Amino acid sequence: MEKQISVLNSNEVSVPEFRKSIMDFQERMVQLPGVRFDEDAGEYKHAFFDGGYVRTMIAPKDNIFITKIHKKKHPFFLLTGEVSILSEKGAVRIKAPYQGMTEVGTKRVVYAHEETTWVTVHATDKTDLADIEEEVIAKSFEECDEANANSFVQLLRSQTAIIIAAEKDGFWSDWTEEQQKLYVSGDWEAFSRSRGYTDEEIKDFKVWIRLMLEGFGRGINSIVVIGAQTVDAAIKNLEKDKQNEIEKSSHLPNEVADAYVEFLSKQGGR
């Protein structure tokens, strides 16, 4: 037991280590008096609104409870009381009033220092509690990871569609000498401004770059994820390219290209 607590409370623990330790911790703790699993943690109230569900839990003082694995991101609110929380982010003590966000894959060990009112809000059209749990709770961390990855892929593809829709026509010979120099320099933002892209469009492109890099960091081949979209866009550009300049006029931003090379090296060049 002490080993699990030590691992859980370490800020340097890896995600796999935390997950194994919290499951071992749960298995041992639920056998002890005074320790409860999520649905038995306290008194519950349920409310529904158009497109959402609100769950209010009143946890007794000195109660220890272990939550389930959250499959969807959602806000939570501490209306009364004070708790200590142990999660993969480490240990933290919070006191009402408090507003926080539960991230995908979160599982917590919570100790109530005093009677505490904990409220969570979930986006759902369902009203049956069993159906809601099926939608927002993962049966395992692996299920949660899959849902998280699928959500990320959809987000990246959606942002890619925004970028492609905003792309302006024009190739190397259509640009001014100054624009050509900016393009070669790799300063995509200055180049984009010179071509008349708006602040909002530049912001969208920055978000796209961040998502591409995040994908590589997650072990996802971002280039493959958006492959079909970019191929379709490239075919349309080829039809417009009358001087065979597309290869000279279309490159990944340097930070994305560098991250892609690093990703491939970690994957053994695949």
Cα separation, 93 vs 83, in Å, equals 6
What is the rounded CA–CA span in Å between residue 120 and residue 76?
4
* Residue 10, Cβ density class (10 Å: 0-12 exposed, 13-18 middle, ≥19 buried): middle
* In the chain, domain spans: 2-138, 142-266
pLDDT category, 65, cuts 50, 70, 90?
confident
CATH superfamily of 2-138: Jelly Rolls (2.60.120.10)
Report the chain's terminal Cα–Cα distance, integer Å.
42
Q: Mind listing the pLDDT tens digit for each residue in 160-175?
A: 999 999 999 888 999 9
Please report, for the chain, how many H helices and E strands are present, in that order. Answer: 11, 12
Please state, in angstroms and as integers, the Cα–Cα distance from residue 156 to each residue in 149, 174, 187, 214, 242, following that order. 10, 30, 23, 10, 31
Report the alpha-carbon distance of residue 14 to residue 253 in Å, rounded: 31
- What are 97-128's pLDDT values in tens digits? 999 999 888 888 888 999 999 999 999 999 99
The average pLDDT across 247-266 equals: 89
